[in-house]
Structure 1
């Protein structure tokens, strides 16, 4: 099995992290991987924030029901869409999904654990204001990142035969 397929099948959402800091080079590699996602007209509508300061990270805790994950993560990567860079809402939101998947796969390839937090979107304006960012940026997700406490996450999938709705 090639490395890309192996990474897709082995990557899991990690929600518990050690206290070991994430090297800046790893964070930058993850952001670079996100920036290489496909986007319509190559408009690259994603924008990133990096939150590693414990005091700032703590301010994210009341903005989500996943406080425990925020506390445990050594780095938060809020991902925004630049509304001024968008040209087609659906395509641009799909591009953000590809960006996030690239970031998660990159984190996995570096031995890190990560989870895509979407529930925090209900507090998107508060996140943007907390970071002092313009209204042009809309929160799409926060990736919580760190070294996994354990690597025994399990997952299951619906059988492929149940997912195929047409085959000719």
Structure 2
């Protein structure tokens, strides 16, 4: 549970590479996410090449941190796998969140970079990464050893919790 409470969006990274074993753990966490009807529509693109990361930082307006991050993972969905129309968004969001939480548990920093539903962003990223037709790119996750520290924040607010009805 501590990973949930300690996780923060990290946008500054050390130049140290993320070890292959840790990348494997991130992907294992991603595919352990729940999915509607157990459809597991996800596919992942692991991006380590500096030129590719820099280019993604240029084509996505909120991905500038990829110029420092040594790793990004694109979370994509195979729309042909849908048993329940449209639930791929929730499925891939759960996979993305699992990557963020596992990164925290491994001493890594990460940040969720949204692609879908912003069509322009999604098209540019998908095109650049050669994502096939019939697939969608939900997110990019920047990952690396953090070069910044952020304090834990308690976001609990009793005014947003309703008992039995609004």
- 1:132 CA drift (Å): 2.0
Aligned to 1:62: 58
1: distance between equivalents of 2:44 and 2:58?
21
Aligned to 1:21: 17
Aligned to 1:137: 135
Aligned to 2:78: 82
Say whether the 8 Å CA contact 2:77–2:138 is kept in structure 1: yes
1: distance between equivalents of 2:4 and 2:153?
12
2: distance between equivalents of 1:53 and 1:98?
26
**Regions of 4+ moved over 6 Å:** none
**Structure 1 segment 30-109 matched on structure 2, within 5 A:** 30-109=26-105
* Structure (1/2) with the larger helix percentage: 1
Change in 2 beyond 3 A, CA 1:67/1:7: closer
Please, which runs of 5 or more residues in structure 2 have no aligned partner? none
TM-score after normalising by structure 2? 0.89
TM-score after normalising by structure 1? 0.88
Please, which runs of 5 or more residues in structure 1 have no aligned partner? none
2: distance between equivalents of 1:66 and 1:133?
20
Change in 2 beyond 3 A, CA 1:64/1:133: closer
Root mean square deviation, CA, Å:
1.8
**Superposed CA offset, 1:45-104 (max 9, x none):** 111001100111121122222343111111011111111111223433212121111111
Say whether the 8 Å CA contact 1:16–1:148 is kept in structure 2: yes
